[in-house]
């Protein structure tokens, strides 16, 4: 967020240039005011600036409204706490209530005086108002946070450990009451993906052959997905499977990308892949019918194409990355994983330098797995994957061709393991 000692940065959006200029003139001595006279211009300015407040006219032409614009602006990672004022010349009874319910912080009918503007912005900029507004926005999203799986924190502790002699017996003890998880983990271990010559029938044997952290990550994968399994209805079963499969594919790619970096531990990257879409599981579990409507059924191997972030914000006033980060924090997951969940779709906006490489790694793994598992024929996912690899290369100073060769090497393995 902007420096709190600096004057507020305010975006004024009105499709009538004279009205926008007048409002900027009114605000000139009070804040740093930017103006936009179209929806698209407003999005571009918002993308390039850390804004404090947006003053949005409701009717913006081309059948687009200030309400739509507000949802799009708040979907930007750096503007999730943006305060917003709706303004319109066509006030009718109930207007204020309607716009507050739509997500605005305040409503003003035109004409608006300088005093009204400055007093309203001052109130919205008050730190106490901001804190209460953020809390209210989270509550308003209405997404219930499921309890943490009983052994999740213990598994995360085992994964985070640096002990050269990991506590295999502790892992076995933790899984005594998780027979379903163990059976699924062993099924994965015995799949053709790992190419083991003999059948594995115990966790101890799996650790001996694959290593401690890889087995812990397989356990983590099933703990996370099983946490939401009881809420899966026939309506959303296909979407649930799609999220699970894509998360696993992204985890495999993230680990492979991590193996060529110095600042990312491969198994940490795999963990990030397992966890990065827990917000989608939460939305699907809590609001199945509403979330189902946002997904597009396809004839690709995954079967379902996820909605855009702005569509989630428009429906829930939040999106899966924010929901996932809140869930991860409630589950007391490591800060590294919380930040990666939050910023894997927009790693440029990561506020923690320490975690940026993992955020970019997960960003690339997410988009490449989407492209691979949706059949590879969608030009949109192909371009997103290409761009994400270039971003990862720029962040890590590793040639993009090296990451592309990793994708070529692992693409078929990812498909066979995930879709098996």
Question: Could you tell me the CA-to-CA distances from 37 to 59, 310, 369 in Å, in that order?
Answer: 11, 21, 39
pLDDT digits (tens, 9 = 90+) for 187-226: 888 887 777 888 988 888 888 888 888 888 888 888 888 8
The pLDDT value recorded for residue 194 is 78
Q: Do domains 9-141 and 152-418 have the same CATH topology?
A: no
pLDDT digits (tens, 9 = 90+) for 114-128: 888 888 898 888 776
In this prediction, residues 140-163 reach a mean pLDDT of 69
CB 327 within 8 A of CB 152: no
Protein fold of 152-418: Hypothetical protein af1432 (1.10.3210)
**Could you tell me the sign of the dihedral formed by the alpha carbons of 250, 252, 257, 259, in that order?**
positive
Using CA atoms, how far apart are residues 216 and 251, in angstroms rounded to an integer? 13
**Does 147 have pLDDT greater than 70?**
no
Q: Where are the domains of the chain?
A: 9-141, 152-418
Percent of the chain exceeding pLDDT 70 equals 91
pTM of the model: 0.72
**Does 142 have pLDDT greater than 70?**
no
CB 361 within 8 A of CB 257: yes
pLDDT digits (tens, 9 = 90+) for 328-373: 888 888 889 999 999 999 998 876 778 899 999 999 999 999 999 9
Which band of pLDDT confidence, cut at 50, 70 and 90, is reported for residue 169? confident
Using CA atoms, how far apart are residues 212 and 328, in angstroms rounded to an integer? 23
H or E stretch covering 35: strand 32-36
The pLDDT value recorded for residue 112 is 86
Pairing of strands 83-88, 106-109: parallel
Which band of pLDDT confidence, cut at 50, 70 and 90, is reported for residue 91? low
**Does 80 have pLDDT greater than 50?**
yes
- Residue 304: phi, psi to the nearest 5? -140, 140
Using CA atoms, how far apart are residues 60 and 38, in angstroms rounded to an integer? 7
pLDDT digits (tens, 9 = 90+) for 370-407: 999 987 678 888 999 999 999 999 999 999 999 999 99
Q: Which listed CATH number (3.40.50.10710, 3.30.930.10, 3.40.50.2300, 3.90.1570.30) goes with 9-141? A: 3.40.50.2300
pLDDT digits (tens, 9 = 90+) for 10-44: 999 999 999 999 999 999 888 999 999 999 999 99
**Could you tell me if residue 158 is left (phi over 0), alpha (psi between -120 and 50 degrees) or otherwise beta?**
alpha
Largest Cα span, the chain: 79
């Amino acid at each position: 967020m902007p420096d709190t000692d600096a004057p507020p940065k305010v975006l004024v959006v009105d499709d009538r240039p004279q009205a926008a200029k007048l409002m900027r003139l009114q605000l000139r001595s009070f804040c740093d005011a930017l103006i936009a006279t179209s929806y698209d211009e407003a999005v571009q300015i918002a993308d390039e600036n850390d804004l404090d407040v947006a003053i949005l006219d409701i009717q913006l032409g081309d059948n687009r409204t200030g309400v739509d614009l507000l949802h799009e602006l708040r979907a930007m990672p750096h503007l999730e706490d943006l305060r917003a004022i709706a303004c319109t010349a066509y006030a009718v009874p109930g207007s204020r209530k309607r716009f507050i319910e739509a997500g605005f912080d305040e409503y003003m009918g035109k004409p608006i005086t300088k005093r009204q503007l400055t007093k309203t912005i001052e109130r919205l900029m008050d730190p106490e108002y901001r804190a209460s507004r953020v809390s209210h926005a989270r509550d308003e999203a209405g997404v219930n946070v499921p309890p943490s799986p009983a052994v999740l924190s213990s598994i995360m502790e085992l994964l985070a450990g640096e002990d050269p002699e990991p506590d295999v017996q502790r892992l076995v003890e933790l899984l005594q009451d998780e027979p379903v998880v163990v059976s699924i983990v062993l099924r994965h271990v015995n799949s053709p993906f790992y190419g083991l010559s003999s059948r594995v029938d115990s966790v101890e044997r799996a650790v001996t052959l694959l290593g401690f952290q890889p087995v812990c990550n397989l356990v983590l994968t099933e703990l996370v997905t099983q946490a939401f399994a009881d809420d899966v209805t026939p309506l959303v079963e296909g979407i649930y499977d799609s999220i699970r499969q894509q998360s696993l594919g992204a985890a495999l790619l993230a680990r492979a990308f991590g193996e060529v970096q110095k600042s990312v531990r491969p198994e940490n990257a795999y963990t990030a892949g397992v966890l990065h879409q827990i917000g989608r599981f939460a939305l699907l579990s809590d609001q199945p019918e509403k979330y189902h409507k946002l997904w597009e059924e396809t004839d690709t191997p995954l079967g379902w194409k996820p909605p855009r972030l702005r569509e989630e914000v428009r429906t829930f006033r939040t999106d899966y990355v924010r929901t996932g980060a809140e869930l991860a924090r409630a589950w007391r997951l490591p800060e590294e994983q919380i930040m990666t969940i939050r910023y894997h779709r927009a790693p440029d906006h990561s506020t923690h330098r320490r975690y940026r490489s993992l955020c970019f790694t997960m960003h690339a793994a997410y988009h490449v797995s989407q492209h691979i598992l949706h059949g590879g024929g969608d030009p949109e996912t192909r371009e997103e994957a290409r761009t994400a690899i270039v971003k990862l290369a720029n962040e890590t100073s590793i040639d993009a061709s090296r990451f592309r060769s990793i994708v070529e090497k692992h693409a078929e393995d990812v498909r066979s393991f995930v879709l098996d």
